[in-house]
Amino acid sequence: MKLILTILFIGFCSSIYTYAGATQNKKPVKIPGLPFEQDTTEVKIKPVTRTKDVLLEMRLELPKTQDLNRGAPSEVGIYEKNDDEKTWSLSEKISLNSFPKIDDMIFFRRNFSLRSEKSNVAIVATVFHCGVDHKSPCYIQGYRGFVNRNSQSKRHEIEFAIKAHMK
Render pLDDT for 49-58 as a digit per residue (tens, 0 to 9): 788 887 777 8
pLDDT at 127 over 50: yes
Q: What is the mean pLDDT of the chain?
A: 76
pLDDT at 9 over 60: no
Q: Which of 42, 76, 45 is nearest to 59 (CA)?
A: 76
Alpha-carbon span 33 to 88, nearest angstrom:
5
Q: Report DSSP letters for 36-101, one per residue.
A: --TTEEEEE---B---SEEEEEEEEE--TTEEE-TTS--EEEEEEE-TT-SS-EEEEEEEGGGS--
- In Å, the largest CA–CA distance within the chain is 51
pLDDT, tens digit, for every residue of 44-83? 777 777 888 877 778 888 888 898 899 999 998 999 998 8
Alpha-carbon span 95 to 163, nearest angstrom:
21
Q: How confident is the model at residue 95 (pLDDT cuts 50, 70, 90)?
A: very high
> Residue 155: its pLDDT value, please?
67
Q: What mean pLDDT is predicted for residues 130-141?
A: 87
Alpha-carbon span 120 to 115, nearest angstrom:
10
Highest mean pLDDT (candidates 11-20, 87-96, 141-150): 87-96
Q: What mean pLDDT is predicted for residues 88-107?
A: 90
Alpha-carbon span 3 to 101, nearest angstrom:
26
Q: Which of 146, 147, 141 is nearest to 162 (CA)?
A: 141
